[in-house]
Every structure is written in C-alpha cells, then in structure tokens.
Amino acid sequence: MQIIITQNAGFCFGVERATKIAFDASKELDGDIYTLGPIIHNPQVVRSLEKKGIVAKKSLDDIKGGTVIIRSHGVTAEVLKSAEEKNLKTLDATCPFVKKAQKRVEKLSEEGYTVLVVGDAKHPEVQGIVSYASGDVYVAANVEELENLPHVEKLGIVAQTTQSQNNFNQIVDACMEKAREIKICNTICDATAVRQSESTNLAGRVDCMIVIGGLSSANTKRLASLCLEIQPNTHHIESAEEIGRSWFDGVGKVGITAGASTPSDVIEDVKKTIEAIAA
C-alpha cells in the first residue's frame, strides 16, 4: 500500500510559532503561566502543555497573576489592556498575519474610513480585528450580510485571515456601490487555501483519505468535508488510535493530510500505524 502525505500537512507558520512560544515559556519562565483559551485546536498539545504547568483559561477573570500567553488568532485590544491593568505579564503569540489585519483596521479608522471586516463575526480572530477600529466598523461573512452596511464616503475592507479569496472578491465587488472611495487590504493568509487545494488534489488520486486534526477545529472539519466530497472513503481522526483496519480493505493508495493545528509527531504516528496495517 502506498502512503502519500500532502506537502504542507500540519502546523502553519502562526501555529508553529505560538506553540514554540508556549513550550519555551514553560522552560524559561517562573511563576504561573496560562493561555487564554487553548493555544491551538489540538487536545494532545494542550494536554502536553498542561503537564508542563501551562493551563488554558477561558477568561482573564480566571487568572489572578503570572503570565498569560495570547494565542495565534489574537484577542481584542480591551483584553490586552485588562491584562496590563491586572499587572499580568503578556506573551503575545498572535500570528503576525493577524496582527497585520489588526493594524490595517487601526490605520483605516485613523484615516477616516468606515471599516468592513470580511469574516465570521463570532470568531475570536474577527472580534480581535474589529476591536482595533476607533470609528464605524461592520462585519460581513457573505454578500447577504452587507445589508446592514450603509452607503458611506470612504470604505476600508480587510479580511479574516482564513477567508476564501473567492468570497472576499464577491464581497469587494458587491461593495462597489456602497462607497465613493474604497481601500482594499487583502489580509488573507494562504495557509488554509494551500492545505485545501493540496488535500482535494490528493483525495482525487487515492482510494482512502485520512484527515488528521482536532474534531472541534473548523478548518480541519472543512478539510475533511472537502475531501469527503471527492473521496467517500475519507476519515477525520484526531490520533492514530482511531484508525479502523477495514478502511484499507482493497486500498492501493492512502492519502494523509492534516489541519494547521496538527503536530508532526501525530502525523508520523498515523503513517506508522497504517504501514503496520499494510505489512
């Protein structure tokens, strides 16, 4: 049985960086260390950090002192300010691409633009980006949600980093009649698109597709559903223990892909387990 792994399976740049910051902190810092929410959508990594004394807390209210690590998709400006007011030491692991979107919003507001963030209003990354606007700001996940956006003089548009280019383009097009002047800041990060295109391409060339990643990770779930549309023998797992032997009956080629929050040792474990089944 041939096993093929997509080139960019696993950690993206921002997640790799945030995870390194957290593990380095466990070695270098004294005192209590917390992450605000799980550092990444991967239970194994979260448990491994817990063993090193770094605990995920939902809110700053649950943290009395010590160090707080901000995860890759960032937090609101208010949360950073409250951490400072509580005299917490902050380790900001916000992905630089997310930071860039936050800074763009801040600048657009300063320049008098009404800001539109293309993305999911409930997502913490979007809530963080929105918080940097000092003037009017709107969020739209699709063209229908533009209904609430009034006609304005100057409109500045930024994107949640994981938006699809196609959706962003459609919204930008629909905004043309909403303002006299439009400034477009394409803050999409291509890590998601690259993983999706590599994975769907591979799903079309194999008899079984394994998608590894947190069952609660929106990006991994999307990766699995895209692969499933192409290859019905697609399975979304978090770890090698969940692999079923029957998935490989009559299979010549297996494809493996993994979401941006999946560590390389988990991918390696899955590969070895499949090799053992095939032997």
Catalytic pick from 50, 125, 147, 275?
125
Contact indicator for 208, 254 with CB cutoff of 8 Å: yes
Among 34, 97, 138, 248, indicate the residue that binds ligand SF4 (CB under 6 A): 97
Q: Kindly state the DSSP code that residue 60 receives in the 8-state scheme.
A: G
Among 22, 39, 95, 159, indicate the residue that binds ligand SF4 (CB under 6 A): 95
Report the SS3 class of residue 231.
coil
Binding mask 184-223 for ligand SF4 (x = CB under 6 A): -----x-xx-------------------------------
Our answer to whether residue 229 is catalytic in this structure is no
Round to whole Å and give the CA distance between 208 and 278. Answer: 13
- One DSSP character per residue, 111-178 reads TT-EEEEES-TTSHHHHHHHTT-SS-EEEESSGGGGGGPPPEEEEEEEE-TT--HHHHHHHHHHHTTT
Least distance to ligand SF4, CB of residue 214, Å: 14
**Window 234-273: residues binding ligand SF4 (CB under 6 A):** 260
Least distance to ligand SF4, CB of residue 124, Å: 12
Among 161, 163, 199, 217, indicate the residue that binds ligand SF4 (CB under 6 A): 161
> Smaller CB distance to ligand SF4: residue 73 or 236?
73
Report which of 102, 60, 98 is spatially closest to residue 81, judged by C-alpha positions: 60
Among 5, 9, 12, 266, indicate the residue that binds ligand SF4 (CB under 6 A): 12
At 39, give phi and psi (nearest 5°): -60, -40
Q: And the tokens for 111?
A: 């320049």
Give catalytic residue positions: 125
- Interface residues toward ligand SF4, by CB under 6 A: 12-15, 72, 95, 97-98, 161-162, 189, 191-192, 260
